């Protein structure tokens, strides 16, 4: 799947936020080199929908060819991808 990425912003943790410029202003479309919760891996994570709460954004990534569904939260360093419980074994 192709994602539109018009603007990029580097975070303190080394990840890169990619934004798509749409009507109404830029919106987050992907995070390159995103930290993975409880892992040393860094993967590209793609936004899959509108935020369902103030604190998380639905997203997904691929690890070794497998689809991993989850959500993104943030801390003072940048964004962190959390895999859903049913998909955590796919990140191993």
The per-residue pLDDT for 55 is: 85
What's the pLDDT at 45? 96
Contact 5, 20 (CB under 8 A): yes
Claim: this prediction has a pTM higher than 0.75: yes
Domain spans in the chain, listed from the N-terminal domain onward: 7-91
Q: What is the distance, to the nearest Å, from the Cα of residue 25 to the centroid of all Cα atoms in its chain? A: 19
Note the pLDDT of residue 92.
80
Phi-psi region of 24 (alpha: psi -120 to 50; beta: other; left: phi over 0): left
Show pLDDT as tens, one digit a residue, over the chain (92 residues): 567 888 999 999 999 999 998 877 788 899 999 999 999 999 999 999 888 777 899 999 999 999 999 999 999 999 999 999 999 998 88
Q: Residue 1: its pLDDT value, please? A: 52
């Amino acid at each position: 799947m192709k994602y539109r990425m018009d603007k990029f912003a580097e975070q303190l943790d080394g990840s890169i936020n990619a934004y798509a410029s749409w009507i109404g202003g830029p919106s987050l479309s992907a995070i390159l080199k995103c930290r993975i919760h409880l892992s040393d891996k860094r993967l590209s994570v793609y936004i899959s929908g509108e935020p369902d709460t103030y604190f998380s954004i639905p997203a997904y990534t691929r690890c070794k060819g497998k689809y991993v569904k989850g959500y993104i939260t943030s801390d003072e360093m940048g964004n962190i991808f959390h895999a859903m419980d049913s998909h955590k074994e796919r990140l191993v």
